[in-house]
């Protein structure tokens, strides 16, 4: 019995050595282990401890198990190595994921910079609003200034009127002198010394302040007198754009000298209402033109005409509606006789 056990043990050892020295299985096992160790060393440093454990397992299996057990051990080695590789792969993927998250954070920083640009645009808009408010304030001031100025119903025909009498003070039955730019002639006699009265009379070299109009010729007037509208008139203080003015300018008839009256009537107690003018022409001596823009009585209490001594031309005296508004009269005495034209302006 003992001999049989000894024989069996010897046979087992022989078989174990044969298995270890076999040119087939150990070569296969070594080849697999070598390949696995090569891969494992590249991925993680802990593979050598796994290899030592595997060799110990192989020695134990060789002492107590058959070649089938060795095959199972080799399979276990392969399975263990594969698991280690899987762990390495997972670790690498996690690292990649963290890198992606870092990139996303950079993108968020870029978005914040864009929001800062939007804030700058908002400030620019506020600046535009402030400019618009300044323009509105300027317009309001201009309107307030215009509204504060009083409107004046009277306007002058003359473009650049020079005052003889203005409305700074009241003037009734008054006369003032003006030097004409050329001689004013009536029936061949003329002078540059001109006197203008508030009662609608022009006289050469002398004057009269008579307010009571009369028929022509009238000896109480200077010898050479021109009556655009002889009546009892007045310049009242405080009425805007009223008085007696003159101007010298170029017209279609050449160098022109015009006197303009804008005043009131004593009988009506008004400051305005009587508006007329008389014009003389350097190139047409002996010609005078009267223009009537507005009168209150239309000639019913006035004398219209001219005289030089006993020569005269009388258009009307105290005649109703003889002088309508927007009307003119031209008297030409250059030939020694008076030629009169009239009509609407």
Residues 6+ apart with CB under 8 A from 34: none
Name the 3-class secondary structure at 43. Answer: helix
Q: pLDDT above 90 covers what percent of the chain? A: 53
Q: What is the mean pLDDT of residues 166-176?
A: 97
Angle at 309 between CA 184 and CA 165, to 5 degrees: 45
Which among 63, 67, 86, 64 is positioned nearest to 29, based on CA atoms?
A: 67
Encode pLDDT of 188-232 as tens digits.
Answer: 999 999 999 999 999 999 999 999 999 999 999 999 999 999 999
Encode pLDDT of 177-194 as tens digits.
Answer: 999 999 999 999 999 999
pLDDT of residue 12: 57
What CA–CA distance (Å, rounded) separates 257 from 250? 9
What CA–CA distance (Å, rounded) separates 130 from 128? 5
Q: Which residue has the higher pLDDT, 47 or 6?
A: 6
Q: Do 189 and 224 form a contact (C-beta atoms < 8 A)?
A: yes
Residues 6+ apart with CB under 8 A from 156: 241, 245, 260, 262
pLDDT over 50 (residue 48): no
Phi-psi region of 62 (alpha: psi -120 to 50; beta: other; left: phi over 0): alpha
pTM of the model: 0.58
Q: Do 76 and 57 form a contact (C-beta atoms < 8 A)?
A: yes
């Amino acid at each position: 019995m003992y001999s049989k056990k000894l024989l069996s043990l010897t046979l087992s050892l022989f078989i174990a050595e044969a298995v270890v020295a076999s040119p087939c299985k150990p070569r296969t096992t070594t080849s697999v282990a070598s390949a696995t160790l090569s891969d494992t060393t590249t991925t993680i440093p802990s593979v050598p401890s796994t290899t030592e454990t595997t060799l110990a397992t192989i020695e134990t299996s060789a002492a107590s198990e058959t070649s089938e057990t060795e095959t199972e051990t080799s399979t276990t080695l392969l399975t263990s190595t594969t698991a280690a590789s899987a762990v390495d792969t997972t670790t690498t993927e996690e690292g990649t994921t963290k890198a992606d998250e870092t990139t996303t954070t950079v993108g968020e920083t870029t978005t914040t910079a864009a929001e800062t640009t939007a804030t700058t645009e908002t400030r620019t808009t506020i600046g535009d609003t402030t400019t618009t408010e300044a323009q509105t304030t300027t317009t309001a001031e201009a309107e307030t200034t215009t509204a504060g100025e009083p409107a004046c119903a009277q306007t002058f025909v003359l473009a650049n009127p020079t005052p003889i009498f203005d409305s700074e003070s009241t003037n009734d039955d008054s006369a003032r002198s003006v030097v004409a730019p050329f001689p004013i002639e009536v029936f061949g006699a003329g002078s540059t010394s001109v006197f203008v009265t508030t009662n609608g009379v022009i006289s050469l070299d002398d004057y009269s302040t008579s307010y009571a109009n009369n028929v022509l010729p009238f000896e109480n007037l200077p010898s050479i007198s021109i009556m655009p509208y002889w009546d009892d008139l007045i310049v009242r203080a405080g009425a805007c754009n009223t008085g007696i003015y003159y101007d010298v300018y170029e017209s279609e008839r050449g160098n022109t000298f015009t006197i303009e009256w804008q005043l009131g009537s004593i009988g009506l107690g008004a400051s305005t209402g009587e508006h007329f003018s008389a014009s003389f022409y350097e190139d047409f001596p002996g010609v005078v033109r009267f223009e009537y823009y507005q009168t209150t009585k239309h000639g019913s209490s006035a004398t219209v005409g001219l005289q030089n001594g006993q020569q005269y031309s009388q258009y009307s005296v105290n005649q109703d509606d003889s002088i309508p508004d927007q009307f003119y009269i031209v008297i030409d005495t250059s030939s020694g006789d008076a030629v009169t034209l009239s009509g609407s302006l």
